[in-house]
Amino acid sequence: MTKGARSGQRTAYINARLLDPANGLDEAGALLTDGAVIADIGPRLFAEGPPEDAAVVDCGGLCLSPGLIDMRVFLGEPGAEHKETIASGSQAAAAGGVTTIIATPDTDPVIDNPALVEFVIRQAQDTAAINVLPMASITKGCEGAEIAEMGMLAAAGAVAFTDGQRTIGDASVMRRALAYASTFDLLIDHHAEEPDLAGDGCMNDGEVATRLGLAGIPAAAETIIVERDLRLVELTGARYHAAGLSTAGAVAAIREAKKRGLWVTCAIAPHHFALNELGIGDYRTFAKISPPLRSENDRQAMVDALKDGTIDVISSAHTPEDTESKRQPFARAAYGTVGLETLLPVAMELYHRGHLTLLEVIGRLTARPADLLGLACGRLERGAPADLLTFDPDMPWRIDAEALRSKAKNSAFDGHPVQGRAIRTIVAGEQVYSAMDAA
């Protein structure tokens, strides 16, 4: 699939509420794309009407923002194509307003050599509706023992490094990984959960786990790793990003580290500010997620950390699982929830409840991840990629897992009423999704 509009092919998006967090812009106006890039933008653009040679899209007053950048997405390709392929994941992304996916490397095989990075990039170019950028593993095979060839992997196109849902338990390995990554100024994205303390736990440790007779993962398992990693960042000066945090203790540690001037950032998945451990109910395996859904106190602390800017990024932690992996006794069921198509509406909760402004929510989904990864997208500027999203921030609807475009239907939000929906998704100047066509 060759992506993008040809140069000279122009589209005028008029009558829009322009939202550009990178420049603090929230104003009515218009935008012009030329080929794959943004040609012009502004509140007073087309005061005399759009250019005659341009196709016109009337946004009808809806929001026009950069397309979303999802920093943590598991695609089943290679190795688990029955759960999700790059193609199916990209369709789900387009329907959710996501124009760039950062794919985790914990596939089968693990993306730990340059040829595999190239495979993902090539496969994405051939089959994906949107941009798919690979992360590579920090350690070979995500086994937490030997550092992968980070320099060559980065040269091949890996945008950041992570061991996916695995945590590097060995502090000396982590120290060396951070030190080595700092040589090339690479971003280390780490899933923080002390593996021995988590043990065979499968949900948050506490009263609910006790009642259900399930082994718990204490909040301290996350805090311990984040605190350890922050000490190692101090030793090594690496760029560190804590993936999908869930606990009050961990965000407090990040907040304090930022105050001390460390270069650290962190992300959260929507389920960790929108749901708590009670979502598990009577052993609902769709709510079995890593890190686990936490207590209500933790959930509130996550909202506070989003408000004060401690949490930089909202990413979906999209983890497709087939029915067989989820239709199991809770302790045996696979971890994870799909999230690409629910990222925007669930994030909108933060706006509708008055925790964040619309621009702040969108910033954590666009400009902020673009900054961390050094991407040109994620902003509405002349010359930037024409990766765009028009959305209705208020539209009420109910999430129906069966209606999702993702191959997998394991949504923790199945049945939830939400507000906000992607209307058009544009990648490189070309429309890849329209809610009007989907309906």
Partner 1 sequence: MDAPRTIDFPHRHLLDIEGLSAQDISALLSLSETYVELSRRTEKKLSHLRGRTQINLFFETSTRTRTSFELAGKRLGADVINMSVEGSAIKKGETLIDTAMTLNAMQPDVMVVRHHDSGAVDLLAQKVQGSVINAGDGSHAHPTQALLDALTILRRRKTLAGLLVAICGDVLHSRVARSNILLFNTMGARVRVVAPPTLLPTAVERLGVEVHHDMRTGLKDADIVMMLRLQTERMQGSFVPSPREYFHFYGLDRQKLACAKDDALIMHPGPMNRGVEIDTDVADDIDRSVIREQVEMGVAVRMACLDALMRSNAAARAERAA
- Under rule CB under 8 A, residue 198 binds partner 1: no
DSSP for 17-37?
Answer: EEEEGGGTEEEEEEEEEETTE
Binding string, 332-361, against partner 1, x = CB under 8 A? x-----------------------------
Type of residue found at 146: E
Which distant-in-sequence residues (6+ apart) come within 8 Å of 201 by Cβ?
209, 214, 215, 216, 217, 218, 221, 292
Could you tell me the smallest distance in angstroms from the CB atom of residue 324 to partner 1? 8
With CB under 8 A as the contact rule, which of the stretches 54-62, 138-146, 207-215, 233-241 interacts with partner 1? 207-215
Under 8 Å between Cβ of 372 and 241: yes
Query: If you search the block for the tokens 């990209």, which residue do you land on?
Result: 90
Question: What Å distances lie between residue 436 and 44, 159, 391, 424, CA to CA?
Answer: 28, 34, 12, 8
Binding string, 156-195, against partner 1, x = CB under 8 A? ----------------------------------------
Nearer to partner 1, 77 or 277 (CB): 277
- Under rule CB under 8 A, residue 205 binds partner 1: yes
Relative orientation angle of helices 358-365 and 343-352, to the nearest 10 degrees: 150
Query: Quick check: helix, strand or coil at residue 242?
Result: strand
With CB under 8 A as the contact rule, which of the stretches 186-194, 205-213, 310-318, 384-392 interacts with partner 1? 205-213
Query: How far apart are the C-alpha atoms of 149 and 156, rounded to whole Å?
Result: 11
Site for partner 1 in 214-243 (CB under 8 A): 214, 216, 218
- Under rule CB under 8 A, residue 212 binds partner 1: yes
No. of helices (H) and no. of strands (E), the chain: 15, 17
- Under rule CB under 8 A, residue 415 binds partner 1: no
Query: How far apart are the C-alpha atoms of 98 and 6, rounded to whole Å?
Result: 21
Query: Which residues in 225-247 are b (16+ Cβ under 10 Å) and which e?
Result: bbbbbbebbeebebbbbbbbbbb
Site for partner 1 in 101-120 (CB under 8 A): none
Nearer to partner 1, 196 or 437 (CB): 196
With CB under 8 A as the contact rule, which of the stretches 17-25, 149-157, 209-217, 382-390 interacts with partner 1? 209-217
Could you tell me the smallest distance in angstroms from the CB atom of residue 214 to partner 1? 5
- Under rule CB under 8 A, residue 207 binds partner 1: yes
Binding string, 280-319, against partner 1, x = CB under 8 A? --xx------------------------------------
Nearer to partner 1, 7 or 210 (CB): 210
Under 8 Å between Cβ of 65 and 362: yes
Nearer to partner 1, 211 or 260 (CB): 211
Nearer to partner 1, 283 or 397 (CB): 283
| Strand-pair partners of 246 | none
Query: How far apart are the C-alpha atoms of 70 and 369, rounded to whole Å?
Result: 8
Torsions phi, psi for 122 (to 5 deg)? -65, -45
With CB under 8 A as the contact rule, which of the stretches 87-95, 141-149, 238-246, 322-330 interacts with partner 1? 322-330
Query: Quick check: helix, strand or coil at residue 226?
Result: helix
Nearer to partner 1, 106 or 277 (CB): 277
Could you tell me the smallest distance in angstroms from the CB atom of residue 334 to partner 1? 11
| DSSP code for 252 | H
Residue in 29, 164, 206, 244 binding partner 1, rule: CB under 8 A:
206
Residue whose C-alpha is closest to residue 164's, from 184, 182, 148: 148
Question: What Å distances lie between residue 251 and 276, 294, 428, CA to CA?
Answer: 16, 13, 36
With CB under 8 A as the contact rule, which of the stretches 149-157, 224-232, 327-335, 365-373 interacts with partner 1? 327-335
Binding residues for partner 1, rule: CB under 8 A, are 199-200, 205-207, 209-214, 216, 218, 282-283, 324, 327-332
